Structure 1
């Protein structure tokens, strides 16, 4: 069955996927023309028509398959307009997919990703320089938790006029205690840095000294104290001496 378009003037034109133009009325224009109803819809023009024997034919011979008129639309569909036919008070409805819903989903997804990444960034910005982080120690581990294993440190390097020091202070996997590192100058006993308690398998990768130093080589002692992993009720979580490392601080 062929439905032919009528010879009417319409201000709006719909371009289908075959680049054919179809003149149509908007819904409010149709309502103004038929305030009390009385018009008929004989088919739906959609991108995926499913009626092989229902075709819309234009004045220039253009053709487009139609779907039977099905009344109520799906939630993701909308009416673009109505194409007048050469039959009196008869029209073909143009049905399109809604784009706003997909766009709102995309915007919501982008906002969620932005908030998530922003949270990660803020977490990194607010993280202390010397906050212990997980360290894959590999072979450097303690097979006997009854003893405390300390990594060897003989040299610590810093830059003149800069408090930042990049030096790994590690508590190897297998130790049964937290470790706290304290670095002091041998000549004066001045404390340059004290770490927070470092759990086993974690380490401090860099830290800030209490002050800057001029270029030179400074003998230092790295004091290491141990404390319980968790404070038991009614017991002190005091730190006990675990060892001392003799090293030099090289400031360049």
Structure 2
């Protein structure tokens, strides 16, 4: 074997070794990133939730396990937009987290779903999954409630009807 052939062979082996090493490093990095990602098990606090209270609207029955469910009148928003400036409130003193889901009454299309909202906090406005043209949209607001001790544990809930008026 000539020196050129030996050199070529050695260079090829080094290139293969470097390539294998790069693949192994890439796999290790990918595995680390994937395995350290938090799993969404539905118990995440909504990042939009902020402290919110209405004086005189606390829940004094929360200690006995009573849950105060908010009620809603008609929601107004500008047509052609996707934001409704209505707070989704979990009353201070409630013994649970709340998750809000807003669906069109006809067809059940989900327009909005929050993550968990702690007691004494609210989501100040909702960004819908799509903009709404001018019109009146009957919606169902489903309020799921979850244990403060174990947020994966559902409690009772409620469904309320209201309308979104886009004009």
Do both proteins adopt the same fold according to a TM-score greater than 0.5, normalized to the shorter chain? yes
Query: Match for 1:248 among 160, 163, 167?
Result: 163
Partner of 2:95: 176
1:181-208 Cα offsets, whole Å, 9 max, x none, are: 1000011100000011110000010121
1:143 aligns with 2:143: no
Partner of 1:194: 113
1: CA distance, partners of 2:78 / 2:155: 32
Q: Which runs of 5+ in 2 are unaligned?
A: 1-45
Deviation at 1:238, TM superposition (A): 3.5
Partner of 1:214: 133
Deviation at 1:241, TM superposition (A): 4.0
1: CA distance, partners of 2:129 / 2:47: 13
Query: Match for 1:158 among 64, 77, 80?
Result: 77
Q: CA RMSD in A?
A: 1.7
SS in 1 for 2:100: strand
Structure with bigger RCO (C-alpha 8 Å, 6+ apart): 2
TM-score by length of 1: 0.45
1:78-98 Cα offsets, whole Å, 9 max, x none, are: xxxxxxxxxxxxxxxxxxxxx
SS in 1 for 2:130: coil
Deviation at 1:130, TM superposition (A): 6.3
Q: Which runs of 5+ in 1 are unaligned?
A: 1-128
SS in 2 for 1:188: coil
Partner of 1:108: none
Deviation at 1:153, TM superposition (A): 0.1
Partner of 1:32: none
SS in 2 for 1:144: helix
Looking at secondary structure, tell me which structure has more helix per residue. 2
Query: Match for 1:132 among 22, 35, 49?
Result: 49
After the TM superposition, which of the residue ranges 189-198 and 157-166 deviates more from structure 2?
157-166
